Amino acid sequence: MQIAILDICKPDQAVLMQFVKKALEESHISSEIHLFSSGDELAAAHVQHPYQLIFIDLDLPDQAGLKAARTVRMTHPQSVIVFLSARDPFYSEVLSVHAFDCLRKPVGYERVVRLMTDIETHILFFHPQIELHYGTNCLRLLLEEIRYVTSAANYCDIQASSPYHLRIPFRDLTGQLQDPRFLQINRGVLINMDHVAAMDQTECRMLDSRILLINQRRAADLVRIYHNYLSQHTTWVTL
């Protein structure tokens, strides 16, 4: 899960990040958290690479937090916004950007756990996930987080918010990724087309600059499928 925290108080940022990570780890959900102290920086980063969950301090000077929340809501209405405040916020502030909740500072761990449980239910309603079991472990990933998968023998390397090297057969993994956004472009190579920067009949360049070779015998069909997908889908990219 891609998460951003906007707060000018560094200690508060650190505590909230620790609580959120711990709560998600207990649910076997991977996360990548980015910290911001400027509303403009958050808004600029979010436009380029949308966050699924954003914590915003309402107490920033000149209503910078509320302004950033409005920008987030205009550019990516699916993002979940949670306000932070040391005071009781005005309902008009929360309702104006359809915020999911507001946490009163100082934030307690149990409150964060309850919040993340509610947000997990909300996000998964709109964003499907995959649950992978390998050995005695379990990993849950949102499909939109998976950028591409490569395989070697009985192992798969999954590039997502964090990289994962799992002992799981490629066929078993791809069998669980029956979603239009995924395309197998070569033996042991599966891509998420929402994370493709460009594709021609030789190679596929991903948004993270990784180059993946395309099966030459199927190149024309693969390029056609990719362009058809682009014309039919609005992408939701997480990096």
User: Widest CA span of the chain, in angstroms?
Assistant: 63
For 101, the enclosing helix (H) or strand (E) is strand 101-104
Same domain, 118 and 136: no
Same domain, 201 and 184: yes
Say how many domains are in the chain: 2
Taking the C-alpha atoms of residue 220 and residue 70, their distance in angstroms, rounded to an integer, is 43
Same domain, 113 and 150: no
On the question of pLDDT at 236 being above 60, the answer is: no
Per-residue confidence (pLDDT) for residue 81, from 0 to 100: 94
The phi, psi pair for 79, rounded to 5°, reads -65, 140
- Confidence class for position 140, pLDDT limits 50, 70, 90: confident
Per-residue confidence (pLDDT) for residue 136, from 0 to 100: 76
CB burial readout 49-66, b (16+ within 10 A) else e: ebbbbbbbbbbbeeebbb
Residue 88, domain extent: 2-126
We report the CATH number of the domain holding residue 221 as 2.40.50.1020
The phi, psi pair for 232, rounded to 5°, reads -110, -10
Residue 137 lies in a domain: yes
Per-residue confidence (pLDDT) for residue 231, from 0 to 100: 86
Query: Which of 100, 126, 152 corresponds to the end of one domain?
Result: 126
Per-residue confidence (pLDDT) for residue 21, from 0 to 100: 93
Identify the three-state secondary structure at position 52. coil
- pLDDT tens by residue, 169-209: 999 899 889 899 999 999 999 999 999 999 999 999 998 89
- Confidence class for position 237, pLDDT limits 50, 70, 90: very low
Same domain, 119 and 155: no
The better pLDDT of the pair 135, 74 is held by 74
Residue 239 lies in a domain: no
Residue 238 lies in a domain: no
Query: Which of 77, 102, 126 corresponds to the end of one domain?
Result: 126
Taking the C-alpha atoms of residue 83 and residue 191, their distance in angstroms, rounded to an integer, is 35
Same domain, 76 and 184: no
Taking the C-alpha atoms of residue 227 and residue 150, their distance in angstroms, rounded to an integer, is 22
On the question of pLDDT at 239 being above 60, the answer is: no
Residue 50 lies in a domain: yes
User: Interhelix angle for 109-126 vs 10-26, to 10°?
Assistant: 60
| Average confidence (pLDDT) over 152-161 | 89
Same domain, 161 and 90: no
| Average confidence (pLDDT) over 96-118 | 91
| Average confidence (pLDDT) over 199-226 | 95
159 bridge partner residues: 148, 163
Taking the C-alpha atoms of residue 2 and residue 236, their distance in angstroms, rounded to an integer, is 12
Per-residue confidence (pLDDT) for residue 141, from 0 to 100: 85
Query: Which of 105, 126, 147 corresponds to the end of one domain?
Result: 126
Per-residue confidence (pLDDT) for residue 98, from 0 to 100: 85
We report the CATH number of the domain holding residue 77 as 3.40.50.2300
- The answer to whether residues 46 and 16 touch, using CB atoms and an 8 Å cutoff, is no
Per-residue confidence (pLDDT) for residue 125, from 0 to 100: 65
On the question of pLDDT at 112 being above 50, the answer is: yes
> What is the average pLDDT score of the chain?
88
- The answer to whether residues 112 and 99 touch, using CB atoms and an 8 Å cutoff, is no
Same domain, 139 and 113: no
Residue 94 lies in a domain: yes
Same domain, 49 and 104: yes
Q: How far is Cα of residue 153 from the mean position of the Cα atoms in its chain?
A: 28
